[in-house]
Amino acid sequence: MSSPVLKVSDMKKAYGAIQAVGGVSFEVMPGEIFGVIGPNGSGKTTLFNSMLGQIKPDSGSIEFKGQDVTKAGPLELSRLGVGRTFQTLQVFGKMSVRDNLIVAAQEHQGSKLSRMFAPSDSGLGDKADALIDQFRIRHVADLKAGTLSYGQQKLVDIAMAFMREPDLVLLDEPCAGVNPSLVGGISSLLKQLNETGWGGKKSSFVVIEHNMDFVMSLCHRIMVMVEGKVLAIGTPAEIRGNKAVLDAYLGA
């Protein structure tokens, strides 16, 4: 048995009287695509932001590749190999697609604002080109990212997360706002990245997404959250057949 790439243990986070996350534990294995679903307000985003070092949990621990990162900040996590996509697009509209990828790989990775002050670096061009081919966006690589459709910009946004060859990629609603005709493309791309790897290594994914077909077809295992707690963790088939999940969520 290999050891988990991510291990979250009994994590809790309250906002005043609201227990946003009330004792959540799960593990993500190397190469796994792990989905997180649950109704609005169930604590998914709070959990996600804790794993990214953006908020500090009240208690519990987070281990990444066997190292305790409970107190690590976003930059340290990024350096250790945690990549992410944001729910809102983080591309620079006036910069070419290719330059967006290059800037995303630089040391000051993080939000759009922090990347704006990153120094230029041309050594990353080959890496950007390899991803451009893998994401099949060669035909738009030299265009200003702002001229692309929302769905295409989303692809660029996802590609940016892979520039630093992360061990773990956290995807925040990768299908949000994307034309339904492009959702299948994003799914097969993520499947391909997961199966063949990228830059000689394979990443694990944690995906928050409301699109149930997307989650069910993409993820190896799914965690269902309700009111800050884990209702169930299992394969798509197990989740589909889980009575508590059906009652609380899928049956809605």
Ligand X SMILES: Nc1ncnc2c1ncn2[C@@H]1O[C@H](COP(=O)(O)OP(=O)(O)O)[C@@H](O)[C@H]1O
Would you tell me which residues interact with ligand X (CB under 6 A)? 15, 18, 20, 38, 40-46
Smallest gap from Cβ 228 to ligand X, in A, equals 7
**Binding site partner of 38, from ligand X, Mg ion, none, Cβ cut-off 5-8 A by kind:** ligand X
Selected range binding Mg ion among 43-51, 106-114, 158-166, 244-252, rule: CB under 5 A: 43-51
* Closer of 22 and 30 to ligand X (Cβ): 22
Smallest gap from Cβ 38 to Mg ion, in A, equals 9
* Closer of 157 and 167 to Mg ion (Cβ): 157
Question: How close are the terminal C-alpha atoms of the chain, in Å?
Answer: 38
* Closer of 131 and 219 to Mg ion (Cβ): 219
Sheet holding 59-64, edge to edge: 18-28, 6-15, 59-64, 67-68
* Closer of 157 and 172 to ligand X (Cβ): 172
Cα gap 90→110, rounded to integer Å: 10
Cα gap 220→206, rounded to integer Å: 10
Other CB atoms within 10 Å distance of the CB of residue 40: 7
- Contact between 78 and Mg ion per CB under 5 A: no
Smallest gap from Cβ 52 to Mg ion, in A, equals 13
Smallest gap from Cβ 105 to Mg ion, in A, equals 27
Cβ(213)–Cβ(236) below 8 Å: no
Smallest gap from Cβ 20 to ligand X, in A, equals 3
Please work out the total of residues on this chain that contact Mg ion, with binding judged by CB under 5 A. 1
- How many residues are recorded in the chain? 252
* Closer of 36 and 102 to ligand X (Cβ): 36
* Closer of 42 and 203 to Mg ion (Cβ): 42
Residue 6 carries which side chain, given as an amino acid letter? L
Smallest gap from Cβ 16 to ligand X, in A, equals 7
Number of H helices, E strands in the chain: 10, 10
Cα gap 216→114, rounded to integer Å: 35
Q: By CB under 5 A, name the one of 34, 42, 45, 78 that touches Mg ion.
A: 45
Element housing 213 (H / E): helix 212-218
Cβ(238)–Cβ(220) below 8 Å: no
Element housing 13 (H / E): strand 6-15
Residues that bind Mg ion (CB under 5 A): 45
